[in-house]
Homo-oligomer: A and B are copies of this chain.
Amino acid sequence: MLKTNFQVSEEYLRRALSSLEALEGRNGKGNEFLGWLDLPEATPSFLIDECEQVASLWREMGVQVVVVIGIGGSYLGAKASIEALRHAFEEDVNPGKMRVVFAGHNLSEEYHAELLDFIEDKNVACVVISKSGTTTEPAVAFRLVKEHIEKKYPAQEACRRIVAVTDAASGALKSLSTQKGYKTFVIPGDVGGRFSVLTPVGLLPIILAGYDIREMMKGACDMARRCREKNYDNPAVRYAAARNELYASGKKIEILVNFNPKLQYVGEWWKQLYGESEGKDGKGIFPAAVNFTTDLHSMGQYIQGGERILFETVVSVKHPKRELVIGHDAQNLDELNFLAGKHLDECNKMAELGTRLAHIDGGVPNLQVEMDTIDEYNLGELFFFFEKACGISGYMLDVNPFDQPDVETYKKNMFALLDKPKYEEASKAIRLRLKD
Known A-B contacts A111-B88, A115-B88, A286-B306; A336 and B405 likewise in contact (beta carbons under 8 Å): no
A296 at the interface (CB under 8 A from B): yes
Which segment of A134-142, A206-214, A233-241 sits at the interface? A134-142
Known A-B contacts A326-B143, A361-B409; A261 and B106 likewise in contact (beta carbons under 8 Å): yes
Contact A348–B108 (Cβ < 8 Å): yes
Known A-B contacts A252-B252, A271-B298, A306-B286; A93 and B118 likewise in contact (beta carbons under 8 Å): yes
Known A-B contacts A275-B306, A309-B286; A296 and B175 likewise in contact (beta carbons under 8 Å): no
Give A87 to B430 CA distance when docked, in angstroms: 36
Q: What sequence of 0s and 1s flags, for each residue 286-319 of chain A, a beta carbon within 8 Å of any chain B beta carbon? A: 1110011111111111111111111000000000
Contact A259–B108 (Cβ < 8 Å): yes
Known A-B contacts A253-B253, A261-B111, A298-B272; A355 and B410 likewise in contact (beta carbons under 8 Å): yes
Known A-B contacts A348-B107, A414-B350; A307 and B286 likewise in contact (beta carbons under 8 Å): yes
Contact A338–B418 (Cβ < 8 Å): yes
Contact A299–B282 (Cβ < 8 Å): no
Contact A72–B109 (Cβ < 8 Å): no
Partner among B133, B307, B344, B357 whose Cβ is within 8 Å of the Cβ of A283: B307
Contact B106–A293 (Cβ < 8 Å): yes
Contact A134–B252 (Cβ < 8 Å): no
CB distance from A172 to the nearest CB of B (A): 4
A417 at the interface (CB under 8 A from B): yes
Partner among B105, B116, B140, B302 whose Cβ is within 8 Å of the Cβ of A284: B302
CB distance from A144 to the nearest CB of B (A): 7
CB distance from A114 to the nearest CB of B (A): 4
Which segment of A20-28, A155-163, A182-190, A327-335 sits at the interface? A327-335
A433 at the interface (CB under 8 A from B): yes
A248 at the interface (CB under 8 A from B): no
A-B contact pairs, 11 of them (CB 8 A): A71-B293, A88-B111, A109-B320, A133-B334, A136-B347, A173-B333, A275-B302, A284-B306, A286-B310, A301-B404, A357-B410
Which residue numbers of A lie inside 8 Å of B, CB to CB?
71-73, 75-76, 87-89, 91-93, 101, 105-118, 133-134, 136-137, 139-140, 142-144, 147, 172-173, 175-176, 193-194, 252-253, 259-262, 268, 271-272, 275-276, 278-284, 286-288, 291-310, 320-324, 326-327, 329, 331, 333-336, 338-339, 342-348, 350-351, 353-355, 357-359, 361-362, 374, 404-407, 409-421, 430, 433
CB-CB nearest 9 A-B residue pairs: A279-B302, A72-B297, A279-B306, A354-B413, A272-B298, A354-B414, A304-B406, A113-B322, A305-B406
